[in-house]
Structure 1
Amino acid sequence: MTTQTIETRFNQLADDLSENGYGIIESFLSDEEVKDILSVLDDYQEAGDLKRAGIGQAENHQVDKSQRGDLIRWIEPEKAKDPTQVYLDRMRELMQFINRTCFLSLKDFEFHYTLYPVGTFYKRHLDQFKQDDHRKLSVICYLNFDWREGDGGQLRMYKPVGADEQIVDVLPVAGRLICFRSDLLEHEVLPTARERKSLTGWLRDQLLDVPF
């Protein structure tokens, strides 16, 4: 993306976040960049380096396959391979832009590679912990080529509208980035009929102080 294109897309994302609580950027990663990151994720998968994800935090952390079935590997920014570093650098640009335009004082991020095996899901939840409110924005970039409605795996968001809520479904299409308020939008991942891959993470207003 050119500098002007990035600026325009970031501006639209900031406007959508303020207005709707979420925003989407199509082709945040090019097809080539997605393929390069997929090669890294596939290597981790083949080596057995993806672990079952859990729910909760610290002493409340537990693995519960009835709630979520994805496999993850946390990304250590200093050790990230070049294809992933391209994405992290772009996220730093996005974080700085949001700080300038939305005044969120974001200071850090945390990301992991995510793989949903066939038939898995993640039930409705909120990304912000009760004991830790430092996750301000949730960010997902999808890595799935040729994804169709029948493949399932949609991100389903529940947007508050007065006393009601509006359902918003997003297909996990390669290169698509979605960003939403971690404290506002409950969401789930619907059961997937194909392996579903992404980079998933959060922009925080406090430096991350836990080891990976």
Structure 2
Amino acid sequence: MSFDAWLTKNPYIENSIPTFTREEPFSNLLMDLQTKGWSVQDDFFSADFTQALMDEVENIQNAYMLQAGVGRKQDHQVVLDARRDYIQWIDPDKPIKKDFLKMMETLRVALNRRLFLGLFDYEAHFARYEKGAFYEKHIDAFKGESNRILSTVLYLNESWEYGDGGELVIYDEHNPEIEVGRYSPIKGRLAIFLSECFYHEVLVAKKTRHSVAGWFRVNNTTGKTLDPDQ
């Protein structure tokens, strides 16, 4: 039995919700990353698992979310000209959050086995873009200056239609003026890309838009510096 096939038959039990419906949920994603450095996969998780995540983020009141900014947790700075979304970091304090983080940990292992990236951990937050919110073109990590290696975005929106805005735009690795993909934030769609290589942006949302944004990281702890959270 393949590693992916084992996953489909052994869902995590915090929620007793099957995580995947595909027999090999990681295979296309891994191939895309190996050949072009980014991938967009529809219906990545099972419908029930995705719905549980949607229920969780939709029930978060704005008062319990932070105005998103630039910089990692402890270096967070609000820059409204750059982005206007709200976030809540995901901690394993509820069953569905535990299951999601466990599943991304399993993906981390698969990525290291296939691509030898040396990924150490994963961090993520729920994101809410209300009407009029956006995130200007940016890159998640500058070469040699960050421990973020792979960026992920999982979309949690029901009945998203053409004209609702909020699309993710990905730009060419070698020429950030060339658009290589534009994707609506539809329910269950996962985007993943090399953090240092691909500029991207979120176009203005015409209605409330939810997602999970996350990063697979390497450990940059040295003899003089302790990597944050480690």
SS in 2 for 1:194: coil
Q: Which has the higher contact order (CA 8 A, sep 6+)?
A: 1
Percent identity between matched residues is 35
Q: Is 1:15 aligned to residue 28 of structure 2?
A: no
Change (3 A) 1:132 1:6: farther
Normalised to the residue count of structure 2, the TM-score between the two structures is 0.81
Moved more, 202-211 or 178-187: 202-211
Q: Is the Cα–Cα contact under 8 Å of residues 160 and 166 in structure 1 kept in the other structure?
A: no
Alpha-carbon shift at residue 100 of structure 1 (Å): 0.3
Matches within 5 A, 1:26-45: 26-45=42-61
Q: Residues 49-98 of structure 1, C-alpha deviation per residue, up to 9 Å, x if partnerless?
A: 01101113589642121110000001123x2x112222212111111101
**Alignment CA distance shift 1:90-1:59 (3 Å):** closer
Structure with the higher helix share, 1 or 2: 1
Distance 1:196 1:167 in 2: 22
**Residue matched to 1:65:** 80
Measured in 2, the distance between the counterparts of 1:59 and 1:5 equals 37
SS in 2 for 1:73: strand
2:67 maps to 52
Partner of 1:2: 8
Structure 2 residue aligned with 1:153: 166
* d(CA) in 2 for partners of 1:133, 1:163: 20
Amino acid at match of 1:37: L
Partner of 2:149: 136
User: How far apart, CA to CA, are the structure 2 residues paired with 1:26 and 1:145?
Assistant: 14
- Which ranges in structure 2 are unaligned for 5 or more consecutive residues? 1-6, 10-19, 221-225
CA RMSD of aligned residues (A): 2.6
Question: SS of 1:84's equivalent?
Answer: helix
User: How many residue pairs end up in the alignment?
Assistant: 208
One-letter identity of the residue aligned with 1:2: T
Equivalent position of 1:175 in the other structure: 188
